[in-house]
Every structure is written in structure tokens, then in C-alpha cells.
Structure 1
Amino acid sequence: MSPNPDPTSRPLDHLTGMGAADALALVDRVGALDYTGLERAVGALARALRGRGLADGARVASWLAKTRLASLLPLACARAGLVHVPINPLLKRAQAAHILADSGATLLIAGAGRAGTLEAGDRPADCALLIEDEAGAALLAAQDGLPPSAANPNDLAAILYTSGSTGRPKGVMLSHANLWLGAVSVAQYLRLAPDDRTLCVLPFSFDYGQNQLLSSWAAGACACPLDFLTARDVIRAVDKHGITTIAGVPPLWVQLAEAEWPAETAARLRRITNSGGRLPVPLVRRLRGLFHQADLYSMYGLTEAFRSTFLDPALIDAHPESIGRAIPFAEVLVVKPDGTAAGPNEPGELVHAGPLVAQGYWRDAERTALRFRPAPAFSRYGGTAVWSGDTVAADMDGLLRFVGRDDEMIKTSGNRVSPTEVEEAAIATGLVAEAVAIGVPDDRLGEAIMLVVRGDPAGEGALRDGLKRELPNFMQPRGILWRAELLRNANGKVDRAGIKAELKS
């Protein structure tokens, strides 16, 4: 589906060779790996995976915390000719079961705790289970690892699942070229250097989170994975590991901005980056004051094209609401409904063309055809483009401003949440007859989820208990509004737009 990759594309697993042999590549809870060690470990893991008899292109799912195994799987699967399917560790068994079935995974690697939550039928019969706690060390112990691959950059390397505006999460197909060029692009515009250390606080199941690793290695720098509970954990890690770079989403930056940072620790940071939602201007000001020596990068992205824009940090004070311009290897267009280019300050749909465009949705030709369409006639890249469904406008200097989201997705805590998934979980409790999930503005979360339901308010406690059992924390509604009847349109369907307007009034 995507255009021909840039001639600088290489197989993803070649990132193990981007740093000096004795330079640190990974520091985690069990120790450190230099680039020689990274190459050896990736080769060993790739050999172990192939030794399980998996066919070329087989999907390997991982449902893991930020362990060493989780850090190496993106490269090891690529080297072994397999397709990595990371599952967000925050997801519950129902969501994990959907991803396993939809992807056709033939191997699931998970910790004992998460694997223990799966019920009969959640894991397909032909999907083997490997418990990390029991076999993880052995996977990394092979002495004759596989050498760097000769994969075609167009080969499928990963499927990342992201929620859609309707239905269950869909799998975005990413090639070696998509991931390689995304890593090189970010390393370039962030100006990462070999002496940088990135604190990896975002889940590796996100493209933004996985890129914490890949862009660091593209620059020959060091990645430091961290599962954290509080902002204080992040502060301690920055101090302990000499961290220079943190990528975050708005809710995380709210937490970090409210924490007490020792001046010398805050001064260690050279750059902080944000995507997954807009930073409110007051928060931008606060971060600039707290991390005054660090560059603040405001960015916009979507999994279907990885990343689209970034704002040069030199412009953040004058243009705190801007999402900037196209990143390297991306062409970003503002397109009017008639297919022509929008003029300065004229709103239009953000359309992303170029070699970062993904290969479509896994086994979903219908939804692929809606989002992945021919680029506008005035595109310099041509080929297939991602039509984002988001409205933006560019000023006279070409700086883009986000105007609004045309679909019904709820973006909360840096996550894209399908309202349908929340609604289905509410109805499945048997306590409500109908449900509508709506995103409402929230300074901390970006958007909070409000659930409007038809049923007996006496069941609210049981409804919340049911939702907590079935949905991760970031999908929990902030409020539940009970109605005798839900607003409907002329066709008799629930009027989602009308309900949303009522909530805003």
C-alpha cells in the first residue's frame, strides 16, 4: 500500500549496528548492554524464536512489561522474519484475546500474571504460550545467534493495534522501511547524539513508545526502559541514569510538572517531547519554566503514518499551540473537501504522504480503503496517503494548527479510545440497555470519558464494578449519566452528536 521506501531504508534489525561497539545501548533492571551486547542478544533471541518452528511472517504477540525481552523483541522478530504484535500491558484479557484472534498470532509471550488472567478460548488453539518468567532467560542465551537479516524493506515487520472510531482495535501494518525511517527521522529532528540517554516511560505497544527505543538506537544512543508508579519514580530515574530525553503524553506531563524536581535533576534534561494530544498553553509555560535548559518538542502523529509534524523548539514560546511542520521523510498536506490545496489559515483535512505511510489495516480491506487513499494530485510523493480525518490549518509561515477531530475517537491520557468498546462493555453487564461514550475536554487527560446510559440508576455501583473488571484504567468513565431515554435522530438512531452537544451546554 505504501510508496516505495526511501533508498536509505534498511532492515529494522540493522539498528543494532548504529552505535559504537562499546557504547551503552540499553540499561534496564538487570543491567546494561553495549552495542556489541545488543547485537548478540538480538541475534540470540531471533535464533530462539526461529527454533520454535515458526513460519516466515508468523505473528509473535507479546504482552509484557518493559523487560529486556520486550525491549529486544521488535528487532529480534524482524531479524527472524517474523511479525511482532505488541499488546499494551494495560489491556485486560478481553482486549488481548481480540488481538490474538485478529492477528492470527501463533505465539504469545507473556508474564505469568497476565497469562493467568486469560480464560478458556481467549488464546486460539494454534497459538502457543511462552511464559517469560520461566523461559525468558533461555531465549537470550543462544551462543550462535542469527546474523543481521537481508529483509526487503517493504516486508511486514510489525502490527500495532489502535482503536478505531467504531468497533474493536484494528491492526496497523508497518514495514521495516516504516519503522527504520521513523527511527532515523526522529533521531534527526530531535538531534539525538550518542551520549544521549532516553528514559522510556511510554508503553512499547504504541508507535510513539516503541520509537523511544528505535530512535535512540538509530542515533547510537542509550535507551533506559522504566515501568513507573509515580512521578517521583521518573525523577529518581532521571537522576540515577543521567537521562537527557523524555517522551510523554499530556497527562504524564501534568504529573511531572506538578512534582518537585531538584534543580540539578531537572537541568539534566536536554529535550522533552509531547505527542498523543495537545499541551494546554499554561502547561507549556510551566514546562518551559521547570525545564528551562531543555528543548520542548510539540508533535502530531497517527499510527497509520507514525509521525507527521513537529514544532521547532525555538518556536514554542511564540507558537505554543502549533503542531509545526512535516518531519523528515513526511509530506503533510492540507486538503479542502474538493481535493484542492487549502490556502493560508484555511482549514482542511491533514493528509500524510511519503514512505512513512503504513501498509494498511491487517486483514481489513474495507477500513483500509477508507483511510488509505490516493494522495492528492498536488502531492510530490503521490502513491497512497493517509487521510487523517483531522482538520488543521496552516498560517502564512506554514506552521500547522490543529482545529478538530472529525471522527468520534476519544483521546484520553495519550490513548485513542473507541467509544464503541466502552459502550459494548457497559451493555455486556446487563445493567443498561443502551450506552453512549463521549469525550469531554479535560485539562489533565486531554479528554475525559462520559458515559450516558439508559437504565436504572440504582445499578451504578455494579456497572462501575463491571467496567473495572473488563476495561483498563484509561477507559474508565469519569461520570455516568442515567437517562430514561436517549436522544435520537430522524432515523431512530441514537444521536451521538446531539448528546455530545448537550454535555457541552
Structure 2
Amino acid sequence: MLDPTPFPLDHLAARGESDDPALILKDKTLSFADLQERIALLAGWLAQKVGNGERVASWAVKGELTCLMPLAAARAGVVHVPINPLLKRAQVAHIVADSGAAMLVGTKARLKTLEPDDYGENCEVVEESAAWDQAATGDGITASSTRDPEDLVAILYTSGSTGQPKGVMLSHANLWLGAVSVAHYLRMAADDVTLAVLPLSFDYGQNQLLSTWYAGGCVTPLDYLFPRDVAKACAKHSVTTLAAVPPLWVQLTEMDWPEDAVSSLRRFTNSGGALTTHMVRDLRALAPHADVYPMYGLTEAFRSTYLDPSLVDTHPTSMGTAIPFAEILVINDADEVAAPGEEGELVHCGPLVAQGYWQDPARTSERFKPAPEQSKYGGTAVWSGDRVKRDNEGLLYFVGRRDAMIKSSGNRISPQELEDAAVSTGLVSEAVALGVADDRLGHAIHLVVRGDPGAGDAAADRMRKELAKALPNFMQPHVVHWRDTLPTNANGKLDRSALGKEIRGIAARGDDQ
């Protein structure tokens, strides 16, 4: 029976049998007993280094530290701030400063890219290897914590449609119940092996760990260079669960998979963009025996809906229905529950709703509002800004987004952040970033800039080089359009709507240089 009782997050470390494998690393495998021991050491070190409730940021590739930090921080009573290892200096400096991190733990190569001003005198910087060396000589915290499940345990930074990334505040209960929910509807078991290919700084990626451990299963993390690395890992570890985003599915289904790489697969899960009917068909061809789970979520409420695998072939474009512990309402423009077939805003209610944005009451009030009076949960709800419809069978369908968020290769990208970076090069006066629908990427990033007349290709190339220094790879524009002027509306503001229509028309004709 599904247990709705949340526990402090570090209790997940004791969900499996002590001798069963819990984490397969490059150089060793940790059992659940080993997991408890290593978490205890890391938690003891964290508690010694920083005070209760302080923030500890991690900036490293997948490994023992990044996999255990969520549970060790929970046991130590500190707040974990995972940073995507693909981010670069400016983004990391913003996250460290905004979170007020008391400590940043990371790999030596990454930390060397930072200057003292990037983290300030109040943040201690510790190399990953040194952290483990120090933890091994200290006293561990062996007992599972008894903290209030509503205590803050993590801040995940996610891009908005405007401005810098914002930190979503998550409690023990948020993460615990998310793990319970996913493990339940995916029907996970103690003999499952999850290949963790998604970044652990994302809620979808972090849940790969938590839901698998809740079920008593085993996780093997992978930072892949090529899609074939994923297939090799599936074969090597007899993987049963593979989660990805649409652009990766395209690459994976274009490969030839050996039989031993697919024979153990039980389920594919997708979020970060919708699966197309072609992707579903290709996944079916790759592993006909495996279930396909399309899912929809947002960091502010973790996960909202999933489509039961039995309905994927007959309703391939549906978002499905609410996951366990989530209540999903469709509210029309009259603030009423929308009728079947009527468009409205997706509103997520219930215990998976996050605690708001870190130290940002203005943006919190825009997204986190009182639940509609029709909600059985009440309290605070997340008003997603996404427009959806519900059919007569209760299945949800995505209509569109209210904001201008760019979603490329599974990453949410703030147009304003990219535009600010372009203008900061000093090569252009104005910039507009747009997402153009793309079968492989979800959105291709088009950057339209206004610079010196006649500067053209040479200046665009210079700007690309500057952006490559300032922004991570997934934020780099795929196409740069150099203009002498940009259109404005009656108020003198940039006419983004007209510009978007023009650029999408150019892209559709294939003349996108």
C-alpha cells in the first residue's frame, strides 16, 4: 500500500537489504550497509564544518560525493545546493552568492576556474578529494535523523523565462514523497538497476537516485561522452531503468543496440519535453518488452503527471494523469475548473509543491499562490503558466506555454540570461533569444542581435567565441542573426512576437543563416 507518511530524507539509505548493491561507481560498488557508513562519515564532516541550516554547494561530475551529498546533507542538518557540472564561472558565482553558501565542494579542475571574488570570504572552497580525506578522519553521524519533514533540505536552481536562475526550496517531505510516488507508479523493485545519465542537479536527475533507493534498488551513475556509452553501460550492468530527455532518445534510437544491452530493460521514462509518435515507435522497436513512461513536471512541484504505458500507443500525445500525491486542476480564465475539452492553466496542488524561491518573495508570489477553492488539499499551489486541456477520459493534453522559456536538449534556458550575455560582449546593442521548434533538440536556440551596420559574419563569429567563454555548451546559440535594426512595437519596445514569427518562418524555409 502506498504510504503517504514523509520521513527525513536520509532514511532512504536504509531502504535496501544491507548486503544488496546500492551504488555502482567506476572503481567500486557500495552496498546499502556501505552507503550508510559513507553517508555517516560525510554527514559528520558537514556538521563539523558548517552550522545547522547553512547551505553547502557541490560542483562536480557524478561520483560518490554528488550521489551521497543529498542524504548526507539531510542527516547533517544542512541544505544541499547541487550545481550542474556543465555550468561555467558566471553561473556558478551567481548560485553560490544567491544561496549564501557557506561551503563549495567541487573537483579541482572546476574550482580552478573561479576567482576569490566569485565565492567571497564567507564561503570555504574544498576540493572533492580533500573532503573525503577529512571526512575519513572524523566522527560520523551513524543514527538516521529525526528532523521535521518540512525542514528545508535542498535548493535546486532552475532558469526562469527572465533573469538569473532562481533557487527552488525543497523539504525532506518534498523529496521523500517524490521518491515514493515515482517508485510506485514505475513499479520499481529491489532488483532494479537504474542508469543515472541525467544531471543530479535537476529534480528529474536527482530522483533517479531517490526513487531507486526507496525501492531498495541499485543506481549506476554515468557521465557519457557518446550515446554508445549508454548502451555499453546498459549491457555491462544489466540496466532495467533508463531515464532521458527527447534529444537523447533521438540519438539512442538511431544506434544499433546489441541484444545484451536491451534484454534487461524494463522501462524507459521521459521528461524535459514531449515524446513524439516517432520516438515512441522507435523506442518500441528498440525494446518491445519495455514499458514507456511519458511524464510532465516542473521543478516547483517536481512531477505532475505521467501516462500509463498501456495508453501510450492509443494516446501518444497525452500528458496522462496526476502522479500519486499530486492533485492536478485545470483552471480556466474565469477561475473555474475547466470543462472537458476547455483550455485552462495547469495548477498543481498537494504535498509535492515546493516551499517557494529562495530569498525571492516577489517571484514566489507570482508562481506560488493559494490553491483554488476546488482543491481537496488547499494550502499553496503551483500555478504552472502552462495551458492544457483534459479530455472526457480524464487525460491531459499540453496546449502551450505562457512564457518564452527555451527548452533545448532537456535544459530550461532563460532568454534574458542569454541576451544579457550577448550584450555584455560589447559587440551588440540589443539581443533577442528565441526557441525554434526542432525535432532533435526540442528547441534550437536562435539569437537575433543588433550591432554595427555591415559588421556581419566576422562580428558574429567574435561574439560566438565570447559566449563560449561565458556560457555552458547547452546555452550556445545554434544560429546567430545579425541585424542593423530590430522591430519595435507601438510602445517602443522590442517586438518579440513579430521577430519570433519572422525567425520561425526563416527556419521553416531552411534559410536560417
Q: TM-score, normalised by structure 1?
A: 0.97
Correspondence 1:195 to 2:191: yes
1:20 partner amino acid: E
Aligned to 1:339: 335
Aligned to 1:206: 202
Aligned to 2:399: 403
Q: 1:229 aligns with which of 225, 229, 243?
A: 225
- For residue 185 of structure 1, give the secondary structure of its aligned residue in structure 2: helix
1:95 partner amino acid: Q
Separation in structure 2 between the aligned mates of residue 127 and residue 354 of structure 1, nearest angstrom: 35
Correspondence 1:276 to 2:278: no
Separation in structure 2 between the aligned mates of residue 144 and residue 413 of structure 1, nearest angstrom: 40
- For residue 451 of structure 1, give the secondary structure of its aligned residue in structure 2: strand
Residue pair 2:75, 2:141 contacting (<8 A) in 1 also:
no
- For residue 237 of structure 1, give the secondary structure of its aligned residue in structure 2: helix
- For residue 224 of structure 1, give the secondary structure of its aligned residue in structure 2: strand
Residue pair 1:79, 1:146 contacting (<8 A) in 2 also:
no
Separation in structure 2 between the aligned mates of residue 443 and residue 365 of structure 1, nearest angstrom: 37
Q: CA deviation at 1:503?
A: 1.5
User: Residues 347-496 of structure 1: matches in 2 within 5 Å?
Assistant: 347-455=343-451, 456-457=455-456, 458-496=458-496
Distance 1:209 1:98, change over 3 A: same
Aligned to 1:3: none
Residues 426-456 of structure 1: CA distance to partner in whole angstroms, max 9, x if unpaired? 1111111100000000001101110000013
Residue pair 2:446, 2:478 contacting (<8 A) in 1 also:
yes
User: Residues 58-137 of structure 1: matches in 2 within 5 Å?
Assistant: 58-137=54-133
2:400 partner amino acid: G
Distance 1:95 1:19, change over 3 A: same
Separation in structure 2 between the aligned mates of residue 140 and residue 282 of structure 1, nearest angstrom: 50
Per mean C-alpha deviation after superposition, the further-off stretch among 375-384 and 100-109 is 375-384
Correspondence 1:32 to 2:26: no
Q: CA deviation at 1:259?
A: 1.3
Separation in structure 2 between the aligned mates of residue 368 and residue 348 of structure 1, nearest angstrom: 21
Aligned to 2:9: 12
Aligned to 1:313: 309
Residue pair 2:97, 2:119 contacting (<8 A) in 1 also:
yes
Separation in structure 1 between the aligned mates of residue 445 and residue 502 of structure 2, nearest angstrom: 15
Aligned to 1:41: 38
Residue pair 2:36, 2:142 contacting (<8 A) in 1 also:
no
Q: CA deviation at 1:30?
A: 2.2
Q: CA deviation at 1:75?
A: 0.2
Residue pair 1:453, 1:480 contacting (<8 A) in 2 also:
yes
Per mean C-alpha deviation after superposition, the further-off stretch among 81-90 and 284-293 is 284-293
Separation in structure 2 between the aligned mates of residue 163 and residue 348 of structure 1, nearest angstrom: 24
Q: CA deviation at 1:85?
A: 0.1
How many residue pairs were aligned?
Answer: 499
User: Residues 243-262 of structure 1: matches in 2 within 5 Å?
Assistant: 243-262=239-258
- For residue 121 of structure 1, give the secondary structure of its aligned residue in structure 2: helix
- For residue 385 of structure 1, give the secondary structure of its aligned residue in structure 2: strand
Per mean C-alpha deviation after superposition, the further-off stretch among 108-117 and 489-498 is 489-498
Per mean C-alpha deviation after superposition, the further-off stretch among 374-383 and 194-203 is 374-383
Separation in structure 1 between the aligned mates of residue 85 and residue 410 of structure 2, nearest angstrom: 15
Residue pair 2:269, 2:292 contacting (<8 A) in 1 also:
yes
Aligned to 1:161: 157
Q: CA deviation at 1:288?
A: 1.1
- For residue 388 of structure 1, give the secondary structure of its aligned residue in structure 2: strand
- For residue 119 of structure 2, give the secondary structure of its aligned residue in structure 1: coil
- For residue 474 of structure 1, give the secondary structure of its aligned residue in structure 2: helix
Q: CA deviation at 1:186?
A: 0.3
Per mean C-alpha deviation after superposition, the further-off stretch among 227-236 and 297-306 is 227-236
1:435 partner amino acid: A
Residue pair 1:100, 1:124 contacting (<8 A) in 2 also:
no
- For residue 463 of structure 2, give the secondary structure of its aligned residue in structure 1: helix
Separation in structure 2 between the aligned mates of residue 56 and residue 479 of structure 1, nearest angstrom: 47
Separation in structure 2 between the aligned mates of residue 492 and residue 426 of structure 1, nearest angstrom: 21
Per mean C-alpha deviation after superposition, the further-off stretch among 155-164 and 38-47 is 38-47
Residues 399-429 of structure 1: CA distance to partner in whole angstroms, max 9, x if unpaired? 1111111101101111100001110111111
- For residue 325 of structure 2, give the secondary structure of its aligned residue in structure 1: coil
Q: CA deviation at 1:379?
A: 0.9
List gaps (5 residues or longer) in structure 2.
Answer: 506-513
1:174 partner amino acid: L
Residue pair 2:4, 2:177 contacting (<8 A) in 1 also:
no
Aligned to 1:304: 300
Q: 1:22 aligns with which of 19, 23, 29?
A: 19
Per mean C-alpha deviation after superposition, the further-off stretch among 129-138 and 109-118 is 129-138
User: Residues 128-147 of structure 1: matches in 2 within 5 Å?
Assistant: 128-140=124-136, 142=138, 144-147=140-143
Q: CA deviation at 1:263?
A: 2.3
> Once the two structures are aligned, what percentage of the paired residues are identical?
59
Residues 118-171 of structure 1: CA distance to partner in whole angstroms, max 9, x if unpaired? 124111210000101333344256564341001100000000000011100000
2:73 partner amino acid: C
Correspondence 1:326 to 2:322: yes
Residues 382-402 of structure 1: CA distance to partner in whole angstroms, max 9, x if unpaired? 110000000111111011111
1:124 partner amino acid: G
Separation in structure 2 between the aligned mates of residue 224 and residue 466 of structure 1, nearest angstrom: 36
Separation in structure 2 between the aligned mates of residue 120 and residue 130 of structure 1, nearest angstrom: 13
- For residue 480 of structure 1, give the secondary structure of its aligned residue in structure 2: strand
Per mean C-alpha deviation after superposition, the further-off stretch among 115-124 and 153-162 is 115-124
Per mean C-alpha deviation after superposition, the further-off stretch among 175-184 and 137-146 is 137-146
CA RMSD between the two structures: 1.1
Separation in structure 1 between the aligned mates of residue 74 and residue 130 of structure 2, nearest angstrom: 23
Separation in structure 2 between the aligned mates of residue 378 and residue 420 of structure 1, nearest angstrom: 36
Separation in structure 2 between the aligned mates of residue 136 and residue 479 of structure 1, nearest angstrom: 43
Distance 1:372 1:265, change over 3 A: same
List gaps (5 residues or longer) in structure 1.
Answer: 1-5
Residues 445-503 of structure 1: CA distance to partner in whole angstroms, max 9, x if unpaired? 10111000001313011000011111111101110111111111111111112211112
Q: 1:266 aligns with which of 258, 262, 265?
A: 262
2:35 partner amino acid: L
| Structure number with higher relative contact order (C-alpha < 8 Å, ≥ 6 residues apart) | 1
Residue pair 2:43, 2:140 contacting (<8 A) in 1 also:
no
Q: CA deviation at 1:266?
A: 1.4
Separation in structure 2 between the aligned mates of residue 492 and residue 360 of structure 1, nearest angstrom: 34
Separation in structure 2 between the aligned mates of residue 341 and residue 58 of structure 1, nearest angstrom: 41
